[in-house]
Amino acid sequence: MVEQLFGPGVLALDCAAETARISQWLVDNVGRLGRRGVVIAISGGIDSSVCAALAARAFGRPRVLGLLLPERDSSSAAASLGRKVAEKVGIDYLVEDIAPALDAIGCYRRRDAAIRVLFPDYGSDWKSKIVIASGMGGKIHYFKLVVQAPDGTVHEKRLPAKEYLEIVAATSFKQRVRKTLEYFHADRLNYAVIGTPNRLEYDQGFFVKNGDGSADVKPIAHLYKTQVYALARHLEIPEEICSARPTTDTYSMAQSQDEFYFALPYEKMDLALWAHNHNVPSAELAPHIGVDMDQAQAVYADIESKRRTTAYLHMPPVLVESVRKVR
């Protein structure tokens, strides 16, 4: 019975109905929070673009503010795509360069110091990224640091845990400074902040606590990435965004999300997550994502591992005892 039901079709979405449902949900819940409108940071990626379009449908131009928040390592295309989205969906937007704030707080300095432990010649004219060495087939995941010298040559080394944590901690300043600005504008306007994770990111902990993980409403956290792309086309998001592969836009070298975090490209991870959530045996999943049964089982194990290790990101502050009357 499972094999008759399972396949890419399980992620089919009635985009018109879902657009109407989420738009009304936004109106209801932002109103319940006592806020007049919404603020959304627009990265030029698929998730924030869809959320911006949904916000525009829900509230109209006067009650939506878009923010473009570039920094030193941002893709040169991100700002232009962000502008294009804001103009396409018809909302006002502001551009604020967060590089000076990041520089002052030591984001780049701290990151570069950790990188120089492995590559002593690394300087401001170099580029870098972190990539994951996949644990498919039951192998252990580990991370590599990849750097590009000014002459274009690329080098990589296995990244020890200490330096990995220091680099990630430093780059997480980017998401946290952006969120600080989002809440500044939200507070001055009495608006709510929109968070933009899709289901894959939300479930698997692909966000920064008190950074991009912080928000008042998260309108697409129930949608698989494949469904977000379908919704984007329904909402007539610019084609260059609809056809682009997901990136982190965090490191100075180009970096896809599956290269940094996920075991598989999003289309396959979506199917694997849906299958795991619906108790589809790994043998049934395997042919749909182009792996053998053992590798499919390793994907399931990786999903559970990420849920365990990132559960902390979802947790509210821990209290000694509950405080009555506060919910």
pLDDT in tens, 91-136: 999 999 999 999 999 999 999 999 999 999 999 999 999 998 865 5
235 plus 301 within the same structural domain: no
24 plus 114 within the same structural domain: yes
80 plus 224 within the same structural domain: yes
The domain in which residue 273 lies consists of 263-315
17 plus 73 within the same structural domain: yes
What's the number of domains the chain is made of?
2
Final residue before a domain boundary, out of 220, 251, 282: 251
pLDDT of res. 2 = 44
Final residue before a domain boundary, out of 228, 251, 274: 251
> The domain that contains 214 carries what CATH number?
3.40.50.620
54 plus 179 within the same structural domain: yes
- CA separation for the pair 182, 192 (Å, rounded): 9
Q: Kindly report whether the global pTM for this prediction surpasses the value 0.85.
A: yes
Contacts of 128 (CB under 8 A, 6+ apart): 115, 122, 145, 146, 147, 148, 251, 252, 253
pLDDT of res. 141 = 76
175 plus 287 within the same structural domain: no
271 plus 238 within the same structural domain: no
43 plus 81 within the same structural domain: yes
Does residue 320 fall inside a structural domain? no
Q: Indicate the helix (H) or strand (E) that contains 26.
A: helix 15-32
Final residue before a domain boundary, out of 226, 251, 276: 251
pLDDT of res. 253 = 93
